[in-house]
Amino acid sequence: MSDLPDDFDCTITNWEYIYGLCRTVSNEVKRAEFEPDVVVALARGGWFAGRCTCDFLGLDDLTSLKMEHYVGAGIKSDEPQVRYPMPEGSVEGKDVLVIDDIADTGGSIRRAHEYVEERGAAEIRTATLQLLQTSEFEPDFVGERLEEWTWVVYPWNFIEDMIDLTSGAMDQAEMTTFDRESIRHYLDEFHGIDRIAMEIAQPSRLDEVLAEMERRGVVEPVETDGDDEWQLAK
């Protein structure tokens, strides 16, 4: 999230909702009468989508491709780079469905399409569970189109993202110690995450996030006579 502005809206999702998008994508593939031999899931976000799509389509050939924008510490490349090459012959002569969770700029899935094509795949189609209007690449199959830009918090990286969002909100706030209510307030103020939306999508998980932030040394508890409070670790 380091390239994002301080204030940006977030949408928290849950397993059931995302599973429904996997079904939607799979139904689009069926309607197009495309019969892939193998699904290539982009790591890490595309793993869940890839496995569910295989189930819906009756496939047992699933492989993974890891893309990243960084080539060194803090050095961002103009084009996504392949981190872990696919095994030789894994897609050669096969019809391939490349899938990811979301396309923001579209750079990763476009590069993945090129990479698979370079390895001798027959027909290649692409899919994303969600597509932001900022994407310059149009996948063949889309579960949901998002007209307004948002940072999507997926259930498989809920803790990871919420630690980043919470610590960032605490860093921006004009105070140094926080109880649960003030943390919820600043998550709403800076990222549009209100209590009801969070509790519907991921109920009763704020304490879990805070406990993990303590364990990782991101925050530390503050001694008080009343409610629990935390501060960013020094």
91-141 per-position pLDDT tens digit: 999 999 999 999 999 999 999 999 999 999 999 999 999 999 999 999 999
Domain end call among 151, 181, 198:
151
**pTM, full prediction:** 0.90
SS3 state at 24: helix
Supply the DSSP symbol for 85. Answer: P
Q: Which among 67, 63, 68 has a CA at the least distance from the CA of 53?
A: 63
Q: What is the pLDDT at residue 5?
A: 66
**From the CB of residue 171, how many other CB atoms can be counted at a distance below 10 Å?**
11
Range of the domain at 168: 156-223
135, 181: one domain: no
Q: What is the pLDDT at residue 71?
A: 45
Predicted confidence (pLDDT) per residue in 62-73, tens digit: 999 998 764 443
119, 175: one domain: no
The encoded tokens of residue 227 equal 């409610």
Mutual angle of helices 206-215 and 180-191, in 10-degree steps:
100
Q: What is the pLDDT at residue 9?
A: 94
Predicted confidence (pLDDT) per residue in 36-50, tens digit: 999 999 999 999 999
Q: Is residue 108, in this structure, part of any structural domain at all? A: yes
How far is residue 178 CA from its own chain's centroid? 28
18, 98: one domain: yes
Report yes or no: 144 and 103 within 8 Å, Cβ to Cβ.
no
Locus of tokens 């629990």: 228
SS3 state at 92: coil
